Amino acid sequence: MSEEKQRHGCLSAWLVLLMVCNSLVAIAYLIATAEAGQHFLNVPRWTPPVLAAGAIVNVICAYALWHWKKWGFYGFIATAALAFVINLKIGAGIFQALLGLAGLAILIGVLNIGEEHKGWTQLE
């Protein structure tokens, strides 16, 4: 008989936070798309919609991780890399661009905490 998968509380909380915050970020970027020409003169017009799409992909990836799909983690790596490149392209400093990788670092951490409830080893 196979044992049912159990998620560590920190992983559960982080995935829920990722889904909620990335949903809000996507909405904010979509609103910013409409105002990009008026308020964000130094940011190319393509930036907000691309970042909105990345946030939507993050919601999908967090949902996949909630359902134990390893591809969700790799999706987070892809969107973090994309955001890092975009941040550098629009003139953010290296520190700010690296700070954007903090969410991925936290995800790696919470996937690897807990003895028998470690998330990483339970992903399919």
Residue type for position 122: Q
Burial (Cβ within 10 Å: 0-12, 13-18, ≥19) of residue 83: buried
pLDDT at 2: 56
pLDDT of amino acid 32: 76
Give the single-character DSSP code of 91: T
Kindly tell me the sign of the dihedral angle through the C-alpha atoms of 45, 46, 52, 55: negative
Q: For residue 4, what are the CA distances in angstroms to 7, 29, 58, 90, 123?
A: 10, 38, 26, 46, 12
Question: What integer pLDDT is reported at residue 36 of this predicted model?
Answer: 59
Are 89 and 42 in contact by the 8 Å Cβ rule? The answer is no
- CA 108 to mean position of chain CA atoms: 12
Residue-by-residue pLDDT tens, the chain, 124 positions: 457 899 999 999 999 999 999 999 999 988 877 765 556 667 788 888 999 999 999 999 999 999 999 999 999 999 999 999 999 998 889 999 999 899 999 999 999 998 888 999 999 9
In contact, 59 and 23? CB cutoff 8 Å: yes
